Copies of this chain bind each other. A is one copy, B any other.
């Protein structure tokens, strides 16, 4: 039996948006879904119970980070990542590809794999497609990624073409190495930079290999938004309707809506948790830097329309004070709010698809939030 099962519930009549149900070994996920990021086996500042309370059904964790610290062997001995971190809902782990190319130094890419140095202590490591699967098998995450090269932006056609070819070869090797197919679903990652023919070719060749799901990688790395949206549009066209599609590393409110409209089912991004820790929060009227002086005596909640724990119990003045005083509770309250905001946004998106009014929802949301509707 396959590890996951995707059921398409409804297609939007005017866009490529889809409403779906993704069954995993650790619970059922309504899609489109936003996955909070728990890089180091913890969603920063949150407990698992708090994640459940705000409605998270699946989180992402990072293969690269967990391999380096504490080490996948320790997590395996602990009984797997779910048990290690006390999270009994679904987990997706990434391939490490993006981190190797963004965090580590002195990497050497060969067909066999990638040699890199740890961003923690400079130690030397070698990742192959097989090794990356072995690590994720040890972690026991529900959805795992095949190893990929995440090409930088900008990069010339030749570079990206070779990189894409490598990613396809690595996907084949990863698929072969993956042993635990009944408990863990392996996704192939579509690369190809901003080149439409490469994206198309990569998608088609991965689909031929028949993965349980497909990721769209190498976007949101500096290219203009319209380029990203066009690539997503084009890529999902070549992906099968009966498999989930995951747009990697994307998670601003506008990108979530635009991604859903283009047929994406799953998203992750460090944005909500990272900006929260710096004192910036989402509100229905746009971003708000709560640590700024104007909020010193503002006793209203972060967002009048929000009913998260933070907004029900604390004022902007109090949260600002916590940030100024470097208190841990500041990061906690802002993180709860930002994650709730995005998870609630996905709920509203799903409801809009159900009612066939996604474009109207987008229009209203963009206007209130202060986004220009350009795409």
Given contacts A70-B324, A324-B70, contact A78 B317 (CB under 8 A): yes
A2 at the binding interface (Cβ < 8 Å): no
Binds B, one of A44-52, A216-224, A257-265: A44-52
Output the residue of A44, A45, A299, A329 with the most chain B CB within 10 A. Answer: A329
CA distance A41 to B322 in the complex (A): 8
Q: Interface extent on A, as a size class?
A: 35 or more
Residue of B nearest to A333 (CB): B47
Q: Which residues of B contact A278 (CB under 8 A)?
A: none
B47 touches A318 (CB 8 A): no
A2 to chain B, nearest CB (A): 30
A74 at the binding interface (Cβ < 8 Å): yes
Chain A binding site: helix, strand, loop or mixed by DSSP?
Answer: loop
A42 to chain B, nearest CB (A): 5
CA distance A320 to B47 in the complex (A): 16
Other than the known A69-B324, A77-B297, what 4 A-B pairs have Cβ atoms closer than 8 Å?
A: A41-B318, A69-B321, A78-B318, A84-B318
Question: Using a CB–CB distance below 8 Å, which chain A residues touch chain B?
Answer: 40-42, 44-47, 65, 69-70, 74, 77-79, 84-86, 296-297, 299, 313-315, 317-318, 320-322, 324-325, 327-329, 331-332
A-B contact pairs, 27 of them (CB 8 A): A40-B321, A40-B322, A41-B318, A41-B321, A41-B322, A44-B328, A44-B329, A46-B329, A47-B329, A47-B332, A65-B325, A70-B296, A70-B317, A70-B320, A70-B324, A74-B297, A74-B317, A77-B299, A78-B299, A78-B315, A78-B318, A84-B315, A84-B317, A84-B318, A86-B313, A86-B318, A332-B332
